[in-house]
Amino acid sequence: MIFIVILLAFYLAFNLGANDVANAMGTSVGSKAVTLKQALIIAGVLEFTGAVLFGHEVSETLATKIANPNLFASTPQMLMNGMITVLLSCGLWLQIATSRGLPVSSSHAVVGAIAGFSWVALGVDAIDWSSIGKITLAWIVTPVISGVIAGLFYSQIRRWILAQPHQLLQMNEWIPWLSAMLLGIFGVIVLPSVTQPLANFLIEEVGVKIPTHDISLCVGGIAAVGLSLYSWRELERRSEGQGGQGEMVNNQQPTTNNQQPIVERLFAKFQLLSACFVAFAHGSNDVGNAIAPLAAIVYIHNTGTVPIGGIAIPIWILVLGGAGIVIGLAIWGKKVIATIGESIISLQPSSGFCAELATASTILLASRLGLPVSTSHALVGGVVGVGLVQNPKSVQFKTLQGIATAWLVTVPVSAGLSAVIFSIARIL
């Protein structure tokens, strides 16, 4: 039984990697900031690292709050069956969506699956309708906020850099601000979890007590200065053939020998770094969607009780989740990458960078407001926001109709699948 459950958890992680991770890397591939092969390697390494090193905290929370454990205290076997149902129904829905190249939210699929089996097991009162309401609100709010932020970012970059007659000189002045924005926004998401072990080491081994946020600020500041210095050197090297001026010729950007615009090549560096942050943060957070049910099942199997408080996540479960995500991305991630990177608008590194920056900003803002956001929703909204600023006619609204439909049906479809599978399992 446990072996079958492990296979189901790997199946869910596989499909989560093929859909969620793929859509996160889609803008980088679509803008040609990285090749598909490079994206698979970068995402594979960082997703796996984030999942194994920092995925336990989110997984512990989901394993004990994914359904109200107090309602199942007297029937742990029922909760175990429900978690098995979550693994299977979420995996099925993500596979269906991925086969059609549609980016959907794994978090919303998990919530829908929980609602489905809880309704069958304990009745309608077992469902947290306030959470369903927040998710419904997030469907509308998340892409709109991300689109507005991405549009604002891109409009300013286009005004002050891309549309200027001396692009390289303008880019030279903007490099520190772009570095600060990139490392400031993504640093708030990634650096606290990375610097926490360093803070613990200083307290326990050295006896120096430094607040974790001070360490994060220091690391982020040093990184921003280093990125600025590197970018200035890179811009100087690439502009040597342009006489150091970088004037536009016939309304065209100054280019390198292989006809790629110099400014866009530098934006590709920034977008590559933002893609690394996205992959690491996604691995440390969303791996919980795949392995939290498995962790709860293993706990119930070993103890015969429902996990009321926090539980320890075995390292082998984290490795299983990370491996499933990476293999799913490598084998089946191309479809969703193509949808995000090519089928909505034609992306350049500058526009892709703005979309990813807006996605991170939206996630931070929504987390402060307590809204359960989806990276998929935010990223699609960011891409559309950039497209509307560039040229509204370039946006492929037919593609967006399919994506929006998939978003709307994610919770009810996963809930229906879960309810049917749980009912059959209970009869058997």
pTM of the model: 0.86
Q: Is the pLDDT of residue 250 over 50?
A: no
DSSP secondary structure string for all residues of 82-133: HHHHHHHHHHHHHHHHHHTT----HHHHHHHHHHHHHHHHH-GGGS-HHHHH
Report how far apart, in Å, the C-alpha atoms of 193 and of each of 54, 212, 280 are.
Answer: 7, 9, 11
- Judge contact between 275 and 352, C-beta under 8 A: no
Chain centroid offset of residue 342 CA: 18
Q: Is the pLDDT of residue 173 over 60?
A: yes
Mean pLDDT lowest for which of 65-79, 139-153, 344-358? 65-79
User: For residues 254 and 2, which has the higher predicted lDDT (pLDDT)?
Assistant: 2
- Judge contact between 146 and 379, C-beta under 8 A: yes
Q: Is the pLDDT of residue 428 over 70?
A: yes
What's the mean pLDDT when you consider all of the chain? 86
Of 144, 222, 179, 188, nearest to 353 by C-alpha is 179
Q: Is the pLDDT of residue 129 over 90?
A: no
Write the CB contacts of 360 (distance below 8 Å, at least 6 apart in sequence).
Answer: 185, 186, 189, 274, 277, 278
- Judge contact between 220 and 133, C-beta under 8 A: no
Q: Is the pLDDT of residue 249 over 50?
A: no
User: For residues 169 and 193, which has the higher predicted lDDT (pLDDT)?
Assistant: 169
User: For residues 185 and 67, which has the higher predicted lDDT (pLDDT)?
Assistant: 185
Average pLDDT over residues 42-54: 86
Write the CB contacts of 279 (distance below 8 Å, at least 6 apart in sequence).
Answer: 21, 24, 25, 42, 43, 46, 47, 50
User: For residues 309 and 84, which has the higher predicted lDDT (pLDDT)?
Assistant: 84
C-alpha 339/C-alpha 319 separation (Å) is 29
Q: Is the pLDDT of residue 258 over 70?
A: no
What pLDDT score does 382 carry?
Answer: 94
Write the CB contacts of 357 (distance below 8 Å, at least 6 apart in sequence).
Answer: 149, 150, 153, 181, 182, 185, 274
Q: What is the pLDDT of residues 352-410, one digit of tens each?
A: 999 999 988 888 887 767 666 788 899 999 999 999 999 999 999 999 999 999 999 99
DSSP secondary structure string for all residues of 363-389: HHHHHHHT----HHHHHHHHHHHHHHH
- Judge contact between 265 and 349, C-beta under 8 A: yes
% of the chain exceeding 90 in pLDDT: 42
Q: Is the pLDDT of residue 251 over 70?
A: no
Q: Is the pLDDT of residue 254 over 70?
A: no
- Judge contact between 148 and 385, C-beta under 8 A: yes
C-alpha 353/C-alpha 159 separation (Å) is 16
C-alpha 256/C-alpha 262 separation (Å) is 6
Helix, strand, or coil here: 276? helix
Q: Is the pLDDT of residue 236 over 70?
A: yes
User: For residues 83 and 259, which has the higher predicted lDDT (pLDDT)?
Assistant: 83
